[in-house]
Amino acid sequence: MKIKETPLKDCYIIEPTIFEDERGYFFEKYNEQKFEQLTGMNGHFVQDNISKSNYGVLRGLHLQKGDHAQAKLVSCLEGRVWDVAVDLRRDSPTFAQWYGVELTAENRLQFYVPRGFGHGFSVLSESAVFAYKCDNFYNKESEGGVLWNDPELNIDWKLPAEAVILSDKDRVQPTFAEGNF
């Protein structure tokens, strides 16, 4: 397992060590001891989620606030997504900055998004299966978010605007300036 720091404080890209031969491949998707040793972050996860989405679906920007904040370790099991994290920690040196990474079934990368970050992804392939490991349980009352196309953040979602498919909730998220995080 290799860890790559991103420009955002405490966000990491994780690249697995893959063993391939004529039979196929094997890799360790997650190891709590190695993760904590390499990142210095708590790697204890309590909930796994899977979503399947079609091309153009954009899910985000979401977060859990307060005592229900969640760190996430995300990956794409099938297809291609553009995954984005936004630092919403007001006391962070990278506050209001975003970073994106392409996650695919082929590159097998994982993206660690710590507590206090907004998170979202857009589907770049015909469909995609996306996996989230969360370090805290979901709580509806603690939901927060930021509008996906907020002009202050100016996130490039790698999709033409007319192709974007949103949930009703994501259409009406508050702007960054309104600060629902």
Percentage with pLDDT > 90 across the chain:
97
Domain assignment of residue 39, yes or no: no
| Secondary structure, 3-state, the chain | CEEEECCCCCCEEEECCEEEECCEEEECCCCHHHHHHHHCCCCCCCEEEEEEEECCEEEEEEEECHHHCCCEEEEEEECEEEEEEEECCCCCCCCCCEEEEEEECCCCCEEEECCCEEEEEEECCCEEEEEEEECCCCCHHHEEECCCCCCCCCCCCCCCHHHCECCHHHHCCCCCCCCCC
Which of 62, 99, 112, 119 is catalytic? The answer is: 62
pLDDT over 90 (residue 116): yes
For the question of residue 62 being annotated catalytic, the response is yes
Domain assignment of residue 14, yes or no: no
Q: What CATH number does residue 111 fall under?
A: 2.60.120.10
Domains held by the chain: number: 1
Least confident of 33-42, 114-123, 152-161: 33-42
Q: Give the pLDDT confidence of 7-44 residue by residue, as tens digits.
A: 999 999 999 999 999 999 999 999 999 999 999 998 99
Which of 12, 99, 112, 132 is catalytic? The answer is: 132
pTM above 0.75, yes or no: yes
Domain extent for 55: 44-171
